[in-house]
Structure 1
Amino acid sequence: MTQDTTDQIQQLVAALVSRESENPPGNESTVATFVRDWLRDHGVDASLIHEPDPDRPQVAARVGEGDPTVVLNGHIDVVPAGDRDQWSRPPYEGVVEDGALYGRGSADMKSGVAIAMLATVAFKERFERGDLDGSLVFHAAMGEETAEPGTKKLLEAGYDGDYGVVLEPTGMRTATSEKGLAWYEVTVEGDPSHASRPDLGDNAITNARPVLDALAEYDARVRERTDDLVGRAYATVTQFDAGTKENVVPETAVLTVDRRFLPAESIEEIDAELDGLLDDVAEEHGLDIDCRRTRTYESASIPVDSPLARVFREHSAALGDVDDAPWGIPASTDVRNLVNDADVEAITWGPGNLDQAHTFDEHIDLDEVRVALDVLEDALVEVFEAER
């Protein structure tokens, strides 16, 4: 790789990170416009796609013609930076120190988007020279952090393919499966009263105690469910909201349950489990409890011996000294849309450490990004050549 390419990687990742695209609320527009313009400036006919939200565009492009078609997918939204005082470097300046680039989204996953952009330009030139047959589709999707159908809409718009690579930070390990994620909002009712006369009310926080106990027991049970690739299942209470004022007995308590589930579990089964558990608590303690699922990322998997996975494992091990054992990612990504909605043979693979996602001082090693671009291009060449 030339010094020009090395500098281009750093500049491109920094440019993406410096354009804030927090979700919520969903500020992808500035980044989407930058990505579209950058690709057009480099000869790629990229488009802004205004579905599913006209105010939050995403980007799609296709280069080459014919089969096979490989989709490179990345999301451009990032989680909020949070308390800026907790960052030792500004979250939206793309500061580089000791070979690492710092900023929100540097690992999750604007470095992945950057190498997808560079690969799209490189393969456009290869296709035009006649070096390879096939086509490459590029996605810069909105809404991944909040399970919105950005990638799904891009696929429905015709930007699909035979194979797919979702460029999340996996340390260049090749994931052929991923956990699912469902969020549940559990509301426990009570009756308000003045705190000077608490017995006139029915404290929703007190009512929530047996619910919390039951959820803790449920979590202990589901942790016994494991998958060889993605690990164990979880049911974690992540939020608790109750009370309107210091001197008012709360009338409601609202809990959020984060349920991480395995490819062998179905969302319908999980809904039934939680409904049954909460019905039992309500009956035993005379409580009014409501439960609703607010967001869902389905689990997804393809065979571990998938030809696409094999190619990426081999090239990652050769250039990046990466573990080439079959593996699944414990997080949830848009790979589910490619596999489940569009029947695309897709993996999750990309530069960066998943442990950096959503953290203060999020950063990525630029050397790894450089290696990842080489691995990506070499693996794609093998995929295209295998079909000639």
Structure 2
Amino acid sequence: MMTRAHFLPTLSADLLSASSVSAILADLVRIPSTNPGAYENDVARRVATWFKGTGVEADLVESMPGRFSVGAVLRGKADGPRLVLNGHMDTVPIDDVNLWTVDPFSAVVKDGYLYGRGACDMKAGLAVQIAVALSLAKRASEMRGSLVLHFAAGEERAEPGTLSLLEAGYTGDFGIVTEPTELRIAAATRGLAPVHIRLRGHSIHASRAKYATNPAWGLKWVLDALDAYRVEIEKRHHPLLAHGSCTPTVVNGGVVPNAVSDFIDLYVDRRLIPGETVDGEVRDIEARVLAARPSGSDIGIEVSVAYNRFEPAEIDPGAPLIQKLVRSVDRITGRPGEVYGAPYSSDVRNLVNDAGIEAVNFGPGNVAECHCADERVSVTQLEACARVIHDTAEDILLEAT
């Protein structure tokens, strides 16, 4: 027997209203999709359910073995421009539920915010995409172009969800990645080189340390080399992103306090600006730490990419899509549209770099409220974002009157 949990919430007649978009978001937040953890399949099936009988054609696309993304299309009556709305379904895990003041999957609304894991990053953007598609579906007969929707798996770990959708044919001419930007238009986005540095030595009882190579001593000159490198890269300027960064984040090594370890692992978060590449910067880091190793040192050094990477991406701040979004922000919110650079990394890299789509990040929420306890998103921004993107979509897809 089907329970109430299987039914979609009732939306108001105004599909772009705060109540409608919040109801969609709450429905998604209540379905865990942590990566690693529950992953995205339950959310993928729920997204497809939202589109049944609406005229939006939605299909599951296997992006990785056993893990699915959703590709969807609202087709216009002519072969006009295609607008892609992109977002990811996975969320980061919950480190410590005791730090939360609400149930992370309850989708509580209080003080003008909806709370929950993924509320800001980025099920808010997914809810906006669904609301915009449902609203435009009522005017599909007037559309000369098509709305393409991505609900991607695996973005949090730079996995190929979005790329798999593009390769499956869900592509377009323009793209909006609905990551949190506080309704600013991100024409540029940083890349990420996750760097793993392993220092190798020889394990031995600490009382006999002088007879072995202790990799822990290598941390000093490696960190000194990274700090000098950080100072240098901060002099490389980008008009929207300022500069890149080099941040040591994790040190692992050793088993017990009274033994020298075989190895020490250091992880570095290297954020890139356009013009820098993951492979190029990893090679540069490797050369610098090797050059910093003292003459005669027996400490071994291995430098590699720790996990999947993000390349930086940018489009011309004066591009047609940005001009349309600027006008829509002004029309809907009454304030000038702001063009800036997003400090984080996102799947806009796939749209711009891999598919050649004119694409930006633009969505509800503040990145400072992502990946943390009591993650939340402004309900007011949810509605405003839905109306701005809907306005831009009408500008691109509807027939001129």
Q: TM-score range by the shorter chain?
A: over 0.9
- Check if 1:11 corresponds to 2:23: yes
Does structure 1 residue 311 correspond to structure 2 residue 311?
Answer: no
Map of 2:148 onto structure 1:
137
Q: How far apart, CA to CA, are the structure 1 residues paired with 2:21 and 2:131?
A: 8
Q: Which residues in structure 2 correspond to 1:1-388 (within 5 Å)? A: 5-25=17-37, 27-40=39-52, 42-51=54-63, 53-65=64-76, 66-127=79-140, 130-282=141-293, 284=295, 286=297, 287-294=299-306, 295-385=308-398
Number of residue equivalences: 385
Q: Distance in 2 between matches of 1:218 and 1:116?
A: 41
Aligned-residue offset at 1:266: 2.8
Query: Is the 8 Å Cα contact of residues 94 and 117 (structure 2) preserved in structure 1?
Result: yes
SS at match of 2:67: coil
Structure 2 contact 83–173 (Cα < 8 Å) conserved: yes
Counterpart-to-counterpart distance in 1, 2:400 and 2:339: 24
Alpha-carbon distance between aligned partners in 2 of 1:204 and 1:135, rounded to the nearest angstrom:
57
Q: If the length of structure 2 is used for normalisation, what is the TM-score? A: 0.91
Paired residues of 2:60 and 2:68 also in contact (CA < 8 A): yes
Sort the Cα spacing of 1:93 and 1:329 in 2 relative to 1 into closer, same or farther, 3 A: same
CA shift digits 1:150-190 (9 cap, x unpaired): 10110010000111110000011111111111101000011
Question: What amino acid sits opposite 1:139 in the alignment?
Answer: H
Give me the whole-angstrom Cα distance separating, in 2, the residues matched to 1:251 and 1:263.
38
Ranges in structure 2 where 5+ consecutive residues have no aligned partner: 1-11
Query: d(CA) in 2 for partners of 1:162 and 1:108?
Result: 25
Q: Matched residues in 2 for 1:289 and 1:321: separation?
A: 56
Assess if the C-alpha contact under 8 Å between 1:282 and 1:288 holds in 2: no
DSSP-derived class of the 2:221 partner = helix
Q: Deviations over 1:6-42 (max 9, x none)?
A: 3322221111111111112461111111111121254
1:328–1:387 CA distance, 2 compared to 1 (3 A): farther
Moved more, 310-319 or 337-346: 310-319
CA distance in 2 between partners of 1:285 and 1:227 (Å) = 40
Q: Percent identity?
A: 35
| 8 A Cα contact 1:23 1:77, kept in partner | yes
Residues 1:219 and 1:386: Cα distance change in structure 2 (over 3 Å): farther
Q: Judge conservation of contact 1:176–1:328 (CA < 8 Å) in 2.
A: yes
TM-score by length of structure 1 reads 0.94
Cα distance, 1:323 vs structure 2? 4.8
- Cα distance between partner residues in 2 of 1:264 and 1:184: 18
Which digits, 9 at most, give the CA deviation of each residue in 1:223-242, with x for residues without a partner?
A: 22221101221011011101
1:165–1:348: 8 Å Cα contact kept in structure 2?
yes
Contact 1:186 1:254 in 2 (8 A): yes
Work out the CA distance in 2 between the residues paired with 1:242 and 1:346.
42
Q: Secondary structure at the residue paired with 1:297?
A: coil
RMSD of aligned Cα (Å):
1.8
The whole-number CA distance in structure 1 between the counterparts of 2:335 and 2:119 is 20
Query: CA–CA distance in 1 between the matches of 2:349 and 2:243?
Result: 19
**Rounded Cα–Cα distance in structure 1 between residues aligned with 2:295 and 2:334:** 56
Q: Is the 8 A contact 2:142 2:398 kept in 1?
A: no
